[in-house]
Amino acid sequence: MKALCWHGSGDVRVDSVPDAKIEQPSDALIKITSTAICGSDLHLLDGYQPGMEKGDILGHEPMGVVIEVGSKVTKLKKGDRVVVPFTISCGSCFFCQKTLFSCCDTTNPNAKVAEKAMGHSPAGLFGFSHLVGGYAGGQAEFLRVPHADVGPIKIESDLPDEKVLFLSDIFPTGYMAAENACIEKGDTVAVWGCGPVAQFAIKSAWMLGAGRVIAIDRVPERLKMAEEHGKAETINFDKVSVYDQLQEMTKGRGPDRCIDAVGCEAHAAGTIDSVLDKAKATVGLTTDRAHVLREAIMCCRKAGTISVPGVYVGFPDKIPFGAFMNKGLTMKSGQTHVQRYLRPLLDKIEKGEIDPSFVITHKLPLADAPAAYKTFRDKKDGCIKVVLKP
Ligand code: NAD
Ligand code: ZN
């Protein structure tokens, strides 16, 4: 089969690889119909995520049609159309029982190695490094789905792929980010980033009672989408100091809730970061790009909440913990517990409350994936979200 493979930092290629196949009785085999590129894939492309090996198949936002199931699968059958969550969860361990699916204790065989190397490890994830299990990803013609009775959600209506595909990751991720922000009715919510995850965080913030949403980025098309689709006020971090602007917009109090939908690829901006950037130069850690996390802590109002869907790896440095402690802030984060959100968010799509396809700017064949990665990374051609069609 054809699959998008990692060959090193900045180097992804479409290769011919052995077909995916059933390996365990609880597996299903899916023929992929649509599969997206995520901001998290950029951390692999840009070499922020350790534990990658040449030839690893990327992709964790897939959907398709079941072509075969293992002998123990009861909920899926050949011909079912499914969306597959990026988190691989067993459904029965201590964490899965609490619906903390991305903390599943059994699906990452390399968890202990990862904990020693980086201090952390989530559940097994598709297409995302051997430190999270080394599972082949879904930017391919076929995908093996472990624990098929726990993960995939069946799409029984005739909604097109484009409307349901993002249940695999970014819609639940934006929604959990807003939930983690503990929004109270009428709150001002600041969202860093206007990428695909942020766009869903903005929509979800409104659903959960925000009175005002302020979105921060510097890419014109993304700011425009946040304004037009997200009904957000916006700040261009290249043009003004985010801290000063947020102070002014909130009459000196700061936003009640802050969402970091950027993570470890943040670009330095504003006064706080330029000071910290000089310090950063002496640290030399590639993971030390926590500009947004720092800024969110500094900007958030006292006793407010910081929600961090943005992915960080390893040991980001110079976190203003004094401000965090003395302001009495709360922080919530995590890889998304996707399985928890599939049914309720599919209901919202089916009822027409949201059409997630608004983020798609590029639809391309799998063969074009290497170029698409670069377009998406460099925010060229107005690119916001790429869907690949194997
Ligand atoms: P993306 O790269 O498309 O978007 C990131 C946006 O942040 C870009 O538009 C960029 O211009 C903007 N940005 C950069 N520096 C900034 C700054 N200083 N201030 C404000 N904005 C800034 O990525 P995405 O697909 O939207 O994903 C966003 C983050 O969410 C990534 O870190 C990704 O890994 C993470 N993610 C997490 C989960 C989870 O389970 N928690 C799931 C999916 C994605
Ligand atoms: Zn993703």
Q: In the structure, what pLDDT confidence band is assigned to residue 227 with cuts at 50, 70 and 90?
A: very high
Percentage of residues in the chain having pLDDT higher than 70: 95
Check whether residue 90 and residue 141 sit in a common domain.
yes
The secondary structure of 297-332 as a DSSP string is HHHSPTT-EEEE-S---S------HHHHHHTT-EEE
CA 291 to ligand 1: nearest atom: 18
Check whether residue 154 and residue 178 sit in a common domain.
no
Check whether residue 153 and residue 183 sit in a common domain.
no
Smallest CA-to-CA distance from 246 within 193, 300, 205, 210 is with 300
233-241: average pLDDT: 94
The Cα–Cα gap between 132 and 121 comes to 7
Q: Computed from CA positions of residues 82, 83, 88, 92, in that sequence, does the dihedral angle turn out positive or negative? A: negative
Burial category of 19 from C-beta neighbours within 10 Å (exposed 0-12, middle 13-18, buried 19 and up): exposed
What tens digit of pLDDT does each residue of 311-332 get? 988 778 789 999 999 999 999 9
Q: Output the residue whose Cα is nearest ligand 1's atom 9.
A: 195
Residue 119 has what DSSP assignment? S
Cα 256 to Cα 212, 297, 299, 303, 307, distances in angstroms:
10, 11, 9, 8, 11
CA of 303 to the centre of ligand 1 (A): 25
Check whether residue 320 and residue 358 sit in a common domain.
no
- Please work out, in degrees rounded to the nearest 5, the angle formed at the alpha carbon of residue 144 by the alpha carbons of 138 and 149: 110
Percentage of residues in the chain having pLDDT higher than 90: 84
Check whether residue 213 and residue 328 sit in a common domain.
yes
Ligand closest in space to the Cα of 86: 2
Tokens (6 digits) for 377: 């990374």
Looking at 298, 313, 333, the residue that finishes a domain is 333
Number of other residues whose CB lies within 10 A of the CB of residue 275:
12
H or E element in which residue 74 lies:
none
Check whether residue 192 and residue 308 sit in a common domain.
yes
Ligand closest in space to the Cα of 236: 1
CA 102 to ligand 1: nearest atom: 40
Check whether residue 33 and residue 161 sit in a common domain.
yes
CA of 252 to the centre of ligand 2 (A): 35
CA of 38 to the centre of ligand 1 (A): 9
Smallest CA-to-CA distance from 163 within 358, 371, 376, 379 is with 358
Classify 239 in phi/psi space as left (phi over 0), alpha (psi -120 to 50) or beta.
alpha
CA of 335 to the centre of ligand 2 (A): 10
The Cα–Cα gap between 229 and 244 comes to 26
Say what the pLDDT of residue 317 is: 78
The CATH number for 355's domain is 3.90.180.10
Residue of 120, 243, 262 to test ligand 1 pocket, by largest number of atoms within 8 Å of CB = 262
Q: Output the residue whose Cα is nearest ligand 1's atom 4.
A: 195
Check whether residue 192 and residue 324 sit in a common domain.
yes
What tens digit of pLDDT does each residue of 251-306 get? 999 999 999 999 987 876 543 444 444 444 443 334 457 889 999 999 999 999 99
Residues whose beta carbon lies within 6 Å of some atom of ligand 1: 38-40, 42-43, 169-170, 173, 192-198, 216-219, 222, 237, 261-263, 266-267, 269, 291-292, 309-311, 335-336
Check whether residue 219 and residue 129 sit in a common domain.
no
Range of the domain at 139: 2-169+336-389
Smallest CA-to-CA distance from 205 within 228, 219, 187 is with 187
The Cα–Cα gap between 381 and 261 comes to 22
Looking at 333, 348, 377, the residue that finishes a domain is 333
What tens digit of pLDDT does each residue of 116-152 get? 877 778 899 999 989 999 999 999 999 999 999 999 9
Check whether residue 135 and residue 209 sit in a common domain.
no
Check whether residue 110 and residue 132 sit in a common domain.
yes
What tens digit of pLDDT does each residue of 167-187 get? 999 999 999 999 999 999 999
CA 267 to ligand 1: nearest atom: 15
Do residues 136 and 4 make contact, with C-beta atoms less than 8 angstroms apart?
Answer: no
CA of 315 to the centre of ligand 2 (A): 21
Cα 78 to Cα 14, 28, 151, 361, distances in angstroms:
27, 9, 16, 32
Residue of 128, 129, 191, 197 to test ligand 1 pocket, by largest number of atoms within 8 Å of CB = 197
The CATH number for 202's domain is 3.40.50.720
Tokens (6 digits) for 214: 């302020």
Please give the mean pLDDT across all residues of the chain.
93
CA of 310 to the centre of ligand 1 (A): 6
Looking at 333, 356, 375, the residue that finishes a domain is 333
Q: Output the residue whose Cα is nearest ligand 1's atom 36.
A: 310
Check whether residue 164 and residue 185 sit in a common domain.
no
Smallest CA-to-CA distance from 354 within 194, 208, 189 is with 208
CA of 20 to the centre of ligand 1 (A): 30
What tens digit of pLDDT does each residue of 43-98 get? 899 888 888 999 999 999 999 999 999 999 999 999 999 999 999 999 999 999 99
The Cα–Cα gap between 114 and 227 comes to 40
Residue owning tokens 């998008």: 4
Q: Using a cut of 0.90, tell me whether the model's pTM lies above it.
A: yes
CA of 266 to the centre of ligand 1 (A): 8
CA 384 to ligand 1: nearest atom: 3
The tally of domains found in the chain comes to 2
Rg of the chain over Cα atoms, rounded to whole angstroms, equals 20
Residue owning tokens 């500094």: 298
CA of 334 to the centre of ligand 1 (A): 14
